[in-house]
């Protein structure tokens, strides 16, 4: 046992003191922050600019209705920002400044002239509604920002609202009746505890799952590379003179795993500090999502997932003789984790589905899928216990199996071993 702790201590100190550990500890949260914050800042900057639109329709009354509906967009955007429960309290999406003119000339010549104005940046967009277009509900929006999906969808919704208002007015409805009929239903999704913003739950849980995936993947591969480096440099032969193969394998898994826990601990401490009231806008959003129970499960499934996959990676590292061979096999070993991430979005939408239940019980996908289910709902206790039990049993079996491969593989050089040779290593006692 003393040798295990000595090897684990060496692996831990060797990695914690490296620049790559410091860089990754800072870079990963900064990258996630950049992915979420920078696009919002860019959208704010773009939406704060004044846009000049032109509405052309056969009747001035129709064009005016569309114009009035478009001018309501800033107020609707402010209302939507207020309904996000503090997600954008510090950096709310700024309402777009719109200048909207109207016209009634729907001729081809007028359309060509207005198109030239858009091309020359004299106009930001032209809503061109001919008589036939209104009858078939096909209206053209000429704009340089054709890829602005959100902005174009808002304009499409405004045109729909305006045309519905015109139809109701022609049927004899009064303005208050039209306003009441057009009022949308407010649907508020809540978890059984009555707390939690839907978008906040999605992004928070998905971020935690991605952190779990990256850390398990990264440190599992680190175990494999550490073994491969020592094997190719022949240091392994010297170390075997003072420690058994199984002690070396256990020490490396413990040491590299402790590095992962240290990094996660730093991230959790920073997240708790940043989520204190008044420091970031997401503090209110995190209430009702993060809890001591969830963080405890995060640690449990990280340890189980890391131990399981690092054991497989240790066996791979002992079998191969080069980095190229290792990369080929590590993809096969990590495939269940990759599949878990691919189906994670579907499981977030339906955490109680049959695929989610079986995925959370299968040991190789359980670290991500079961944690995802626990974060989104409250699975039956027996399912959580069974999932953890199956992972522990599978990990124990893999440790016994991979230890035999490791014991022989670390001293084998030259040609990559075949499956029959690996089976002989397993049977060797």
Measured CA to CA, the distance from residue 286 to residue 85 in angstroms comes to 11
Q: Are residues 236 and 336 in the same domain?
A: yes
Question: In the predicted model, what is the mean pLDDT of residues 412-417?
Answer: 66
Lowest mean pLDDT segment, chosen from 15-19, 105-109, 197-201: 197-201
**Is 100 a domain residue?**
yes
* CATH, residue 86: 3.40.190
Q: Same structural domain for residues 205 and 314? A: yes
Q: Where are the alpha helices (DSSP H) in 120-244?
A: 131-136, 149-170, 175-182, 198-232, 235-239
CA distance linking residue 13 with residue 381, whole number of Å: 38
- DSSP for residue 142: E
Distance CA 230, CA 325 (A): 16
CA dist list (Å): 199 to 84, 189, 204, 348:
8, 10, 8, 11
- With a cut of 80, say whether residue 415 has pLDDT above it: no
pLDDT of residue 411: 67
| Domain end point (choices 182, 209, 230) | 182
Structure tokens at 144: 């340089």
Q: Which residues of 87-108 are buried (b: 16+ CB within 10 A; e: fewer)?
A: bbbeebbbbbebebebeeebee
**What SS3 class is residue 37?**
helix
pLDDT digits (tens, 9 = 90+) for 57-111: 888 888 888 888 888 876 665 555 555 444 444 444 444 577 888 888 888 898 9
Last residue of a domain, one of 156, 182, 208: 182
- Residues 178, 204, single domain; the answer is no
- For 423, the domain range is 197-427
Structure tokens that stand for 286 in this block: 């995190």
Q: Which of 60-64, 75-79, 352-356, 371-375 is least confident?
A: 75-79
pLDDT of residue 79: 59
391 has pLDDT over 80: yes
Residues 329, 384 within the same domain: yes
Whether residue 293 is found in the same domain as residue 356: yes
Where is average pLDDT lowest: 22-31, 124-133, 332-341?
A: 22-31
In this structure, is residue 8 part of a structural domain?
Answer: no
Sign of the alpha-carbon dihedral angle for 95, 98, 104, 105: negative
pLDDT band at 279 (very low <50, low <70, confident <90, very high): very low
pTM for this model (two decimals):
0.60
**Cα–Cα nearest to 62, from 165, 138, 149, 143:** 165
Q: Could you read off the pLDDT of 286-344 as tens digits, one per residue?
A: 555 566 777 788 888 888 888 888 888 877 777 777 777 777 777 888 888 888 888 87
Write down how long the chain is: 429
Mean pLDDT over all residues of the chain?
75
Q: CA 292, 294, 300: angle at the middle one, nearest 5?
A: 105
State the pLDDT at residue 71.
84
CA distance 90 to 139: 37
The whole-number pLDDT of residue 388 equals: 92
């Amino acid at each position: 046992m003393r040798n295990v702790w000595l090897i684990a201590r060496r692996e831990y100190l060797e990695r914690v003191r490296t620049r790559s550990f410091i860089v990754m500890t800072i870079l990963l949260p900064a990258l996630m922050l950049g992915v979420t914050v920078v696009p919002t800042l860019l959208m704010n900057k773009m939406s704060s600019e004044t846009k000049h639109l032109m509405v052309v329709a056969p009747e001035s009354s129709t064009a005016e209705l569309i114009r009035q509906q478009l001018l309501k967009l800033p107020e609707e955007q402010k209302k939507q920002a207020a309904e996000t429960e503090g997600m954008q309290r510090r950096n709310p999406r700024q309402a777009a400044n719109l200048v909207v003119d109207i016209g009634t000339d729907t001729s081809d010549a007028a359309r060509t002239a207005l198109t030239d104005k858009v091309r020359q940046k004299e106009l930001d967009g032209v809503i061109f509604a001919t008589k036939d277009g209104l009858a078939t509900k096909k209206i053209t929006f000429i704009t340089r920002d054709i890829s602005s999906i959100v902005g174009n969808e808002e304009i499409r919704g405004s045109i729909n609202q305006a045309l519905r208002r015109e139809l109701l007015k022609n049927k004899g409805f009064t303005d208050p009746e039209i306003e009441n009929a057009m009022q949308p239903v407010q649907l508020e999704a809540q978890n059984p505890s009555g707390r939690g913003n839907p978008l906040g739950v999605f992004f928070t849980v998905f971020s935690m799952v991605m952190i779990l995936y990256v850390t398990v993947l990264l440190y599992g591969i680190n175990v494999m590379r550490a073994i491969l480096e020592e094997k190719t440099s022949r240091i392994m032969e010297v170390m075997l003179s003072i420690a058994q193969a199984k002690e070396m394998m256990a020490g490396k898994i413990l040491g590299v795993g402790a590095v992962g826990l240290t990094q996660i601990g730093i991230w959790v401490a920073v997240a708790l500090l940043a989520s204190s009231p008044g420091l970031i806008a997401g503090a209110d959003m995190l209430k009702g999502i993060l809890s001591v129970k969830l963080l405890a499960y995060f640690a449990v499934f990280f340890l189980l997932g890391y131990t399981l996959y690092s054991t497989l990676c240790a066996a791979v590292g002992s079998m191969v003789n080069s980095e190229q061979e290792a990369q080929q096999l590590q993809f096969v070993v990590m495939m269940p984790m990759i599949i878990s991430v691919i189906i994670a979005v579907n499981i977030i939408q339906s955490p109680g589905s049959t695929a989610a239940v079986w995925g959370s019980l299968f040991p190789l996908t359980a670290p991500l899928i079961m944690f995802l289910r626990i974060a989104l709902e409250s699975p039956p206790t027996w399912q959580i216990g069974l999932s953890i039990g199956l992972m522990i049993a599978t990990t124990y079996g893999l440790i016994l199996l991979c230890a035999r491969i490791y014991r022989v593989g670390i001293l084998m050089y030259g040609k990559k071993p075949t499956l029959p040779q690996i089976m002989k290593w397993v049977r060797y006692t």
